[in-house]
A and B are shown apart, each in its own frame.
Chain A
Amino acid sequence: MSETGLFRLRVSYGKRGRLRYLGHLEVLHTIERVVRRARLPYAVTQGFSPHMRVAFSSALPVGTASGCEWFDLILTEYVPAQDALQALQAAAPSDLAAIDAGYIDMRAPSLTAFIVRATYEARVQFVHDIDPDAFDRAIATVRERNGIDYRRGRKTKRLDLDRTLCAVKTSWDGPRSAKIVLETRLDNDGAMRPELFLAACDLLLAGEDYLGDPPRLDIGPYDFACIDRVVVERVSQEGEDADGHPIAPLAVRC
Chain B
Amino acid sequence: MRPTYQDRFSELEPLLSRVEKPSRYIDHEWGTLASPEAEHRVCLIYPDVYEVGLPNQGIAILYNILNQQEGESCERSYVPWVDMADAMREAGVPLLSLEGAAPVASFDVVGFHVPHEMAATNYLEALDLAGIPLFASERGEDDPIVIAGGPSVYNPEPICAFFDAILIGEGEESIVEVCLEQRRMRDAGATRAETLRALAKIPGTYVPSLYEVSHAEPCTPHGYTVPRAGEDVPSVIYKRVVPDFEATDPLSQSIVPFAQLVHDRLSIEILRGCARGCRFCQAGITYRPVRERSADQVVSAVTRGLARTGYDEVSLTSLSTTDHSCCSQILSRLNRRLDDTGISVSIPSQRLDSFGVDMALEVAGEKKGGLTFAPEAGSQRLRDIINKNVTEDDLERAARAAFEAGWRRMKLYFMMGLPGETDEDIVAIAELAERVVEIAHEIVPKGQRGGISVSVSVSVFIPKAQTPFQWCGQLDDDEVKRRQKLLVSSVKSRQVRVHYHDADTSLIEAVLSRGGRDLTPVIVGAWKRGARFDAWTEQFDLARWEDAACEAGIDLRAVAQEPFELDQHLPWEHVSPGVTPGFLKREWRRALMGKTTDDCTRTSCTGCGICPTLGVENVLAGERA
Chain B interface residue count: which class? 20 to 34
* B341 to A, closest residue via Cβ: A44
Bound Cα distance from A48 to B258, whole angstroms:
26
Q: Mark A51-72, 1 if CB is under 8 A from B, else 0.
A: 1100000000011000000000
B256 adjacent to A33 (CB under 8 Å): yes
Bound Cα distance from A44 to B340, whole angstroms:
7
Q: A109 in the interface, Cβ–Cβ < 8 Å?
A: no
Q: A25 in the interface, Cβ–Cβ < 8 Å?
A: yes
A63 adjacent to B30 (CB under 8 Å): no
Knowing A18-B27, A26-B258, A93-B29, say if A62 contacts B311 (CB, 8 Å): no
Chain B contacts of A36 at CB under 8 A? 306, 310-312
Number of A residues near B (Cβ < 8 Å) is 35
Bound Cα distance from A17 to B22, whole angstroms:
13
* B256 to A, closest residue via Cβ: A33
A33 adjacent to B259 (CB under 8 Å): no
Bound Cα distance from A17 to B16, whole angstroms:
13
Q: Mark B304-333, 1 if CB is under 8 A from A, else 0.
A: 001111111000000000000000000000
Interface SS, B side: loop
Bound Cα distance from A52 to B14, whole angstroms:
36
Q: Which of A1-54 contact B (CB under 8 A)?
A: 17-19, 21-23, 25-27, 29-30, 32-37, 39, 44-45, 47-52
Chain B contacts of A48 at CB under 8 A? 366-367
Knowing A21-B22, A26-B258, say if A221 contacts B17 (CB, 8 Å): yes
* B32 to A, closest residue via Cβ: A93
Q: B9 in the interface, Cβ–Cβ < 8 Å?
A: yes
Chain B contacts of A52 at CB under 8 A? 312, 342
A62 adjacent to B22 (CB under 8 Å): yes
Bound Cα distance from A47 to B340, whole angstroms:
11
A95 adjacent to B28 (CB under 8 Å): yes
Knowing A26-B260, A37-B307, A91-B310, say if A50 contacts B342 (CB, 8 Å): yes
Nearest chain B CB to A244 CB, angstrom units = 35
B23 adjacent to A47 (CB under 8 Å): no
Q: Which of B259-278 contact A (CB under 8 A)?
A: 259-260, 264
Knowing A48-B367, A62-B17, say if A37 contacts B309 (CB, 8 Å): yes
Q: Mark A129-165, 1 if CB is under 8 A from B, else 0.
A: 0000000000000000000000000000000000000
B366 adjacent to A21 (CB under 8 Å): no
Chain B contacts of A50 at CB under 8 A? 342
* Interface-central residue, B13, B17, B260, B340, by most chain A CB under 10 Å: B17
Chain A contacts of B21 at CB under 8 A? 23
B26 adjacent to A19 (CB under 8 Å): yes
Bound Cα distance from A173 to B488, whole angstroms:
70
Q: Which of B318-370 contact A (CB under 8 A)?
A: 340-342, 366-367
A19 adjacent to B28 (CB under 8 Å): yes
Of A17, A30, A39, A49, which one neighbours B258 at CB under 8 angstroms? Answer: A30
Q: B18 in the interface, Cβ–Cβ < 8 Å?
A: yes
A29 adjacent to B260 (CB under 8 Å): yes
Bound Cα distance from A19 to B25, whole angstroms:
11
Nearest chain A CB to B100 CB, angstrom units = 13
* B344 to A, closest residue via Cβ: A50
Knowing A48-B366, A93-B29, say if A22 contacts B312 (CB, 8 Å): no
Q: Which of A88-112 contact B (CB under 8 A)?
A: 91-93, 95
Bound Cα distance from A47 to B342, whole angstroms:
10
Chain B contacts of A37 at CB under 8 A? 30, 307-310
Q: Mark B1-43, 1 if CB is under 8 A from A, else 0.
A: 0000000010001101110011100111110000000000000
* B24 to A, closest residue via Cβ: A21
Chain A contacts of B16 at CB under 8 A? 21, 63
Q: Mark B82-96, 1 if CB is under 8 A from A, else 0.
A: 000000000000000
B310 adjacent to A23 (CB under 8 Å): no
Of A29, A51, A93, which one neighbours B28 at CB under 8 angstroms? Answer: A93
Q: Which of B528-546 contact A (CB under 8 A)?
A: none
Nearest chain B CB to A155 CB, angstrom units = 20
Nearest chain B CB to A92 CB, angstrom units = 8
B26 adjacent to A21 (CB under 8 Å): yes
A-B contact pairs, 21 of them (CB 8 A): A18-B26, A21-B26, A22-B258, A26-B259, A33-B30, A33-B310, A33-B311, A35-B310, A37-B308, A37-B309, A44-B340, A44-B341, A47-B366, A50-B342, A51-B342, A52-B312, A62-B22, A92-B30, A93-B30, A220-B17, A221-B18
Q: Which residues in B have some Cβ–Cβ distance to A below 8 Å?
A: 9, 13-14, 16-18, 21-23, 26-30, 256, 258-260, 264, 306-312, 340-342, 366-367
A30-B256, A33-B30 are known; give 8 further A-B pairs, CB within 8 A. A19-B26, A22-B258, A26-B23, A30-B258, A33-B311, A37-B307, A48-B366, A221-B18
Q: Which residues in A have some Cβ–Cβ distance to B below 8 Å?
A: 17-19, 21-23, 25-27, 29-30, 32-37, 39, 44-45, 47-52, 62-63, 91-93, 95, 220-221, 229
